[in-house]
Amino acid sequence: MKLVLVCFFAFSNIFLLNSQSVYGNVEYKSKINGSFISEDVINKEKDKNLRNTLNFLNSSIKNNQNKFVFVLDFNRNVSVFSMNKILNVDNDTQLKYAIITNSGKDIFYQNIISRKKIKKKIMFGEEFNIVSNLDSLKWELTREEKKIGKYNCFKAITYLNKKTKIEAWYTTQIPFGFGPKGFGGLPGLIIELKENNIIYFANKITLKTNKIFEIEIPNTQNTISIEKYDSIGRSAKSRLKKM
């Protein structure tokens, strides 16, 4: 198995060095598989107000999911992923909740040279550039495969934590290790990704030749670690509870 992977990566590197395709663009859409928050979780909640909030969140996502379009731009070394801007959001509370839940205000960067990924996020009116290691997630490459459009795809699995399982379908036909929401590091482009009950799927893939496409990565001097960011978030939540 190791020999196969070594041979594959060697072939991929040769492909990247000689291929004329130096820039790619993928349009992703998303859909809900069932409910974002399970009915069991909602029904077990004793607080009526919180139950109503969870139901409102579920309906917000369900009613607005088809409005979202995400774009992944990449060259050989870096990528950026974000949601296309939606107009007239301020007067639609459900839409605003759905955008936040889908990380619609966040921007995700990957750099396969430095092996870093950065998430640009706004929290409590302040901008954070959260940096983490691209190799921090350990993918399990399975033997499962399926055809998505014209691409032969393979399944990979990883876990963000004990409760969050990530399933990715990637294709070696496009040997660029990028994907939605900062997920990547696989032997090919992620065509479909499932995080909790939200599925992101490639709706349109464009590979362009003989074009240099530069992606500006946030300055690493203005970044914080994911551990520091989580600490700030916990402190902020603690202060809110005491108010």
In the structure, what pLDDT confidence band is assigned to residue 193 with cuts at 50, 70 and 90?
A: very high
Q: Give the pLDDT confidence of 27-78 residue by residue, as tens digits.
A: 999 888 777 777 777 777 778 788 887 888 878 878 778 888 999 999 888 9
- What is the reported pLDDT for 233? 59
Single pTM value for the model: 0.80
In which order are the strands placed within the sheet that holds 140-148? 140-148, 151-159, 165-171, 189-195, 198-209, 21-32, 70-75, 78-83, 107-111, 116-123, 126-133, 223-225
In the chain, DSSP assigns E strands to 21-32, 70-75, 78-83, 107-111, 116-123, 126-133, 140-148, 151-159, 165-171, 189-195, 198-209, 223-225
Q: Give the pLDDT confidence of 152-184 residue by residue, as tens digits.
A: 999 999 998 877 899 999 999 999 999 999 999
Facing residues of 81 across strands?
A: 72, 108
How many domains, in total, are found in the chain? Answer: 1
In angstroms, the Cα distances linking 59 to 53, 64, 186, 212 are 10, 8, 34, 42
What is the domain range of residue 217? 2-242
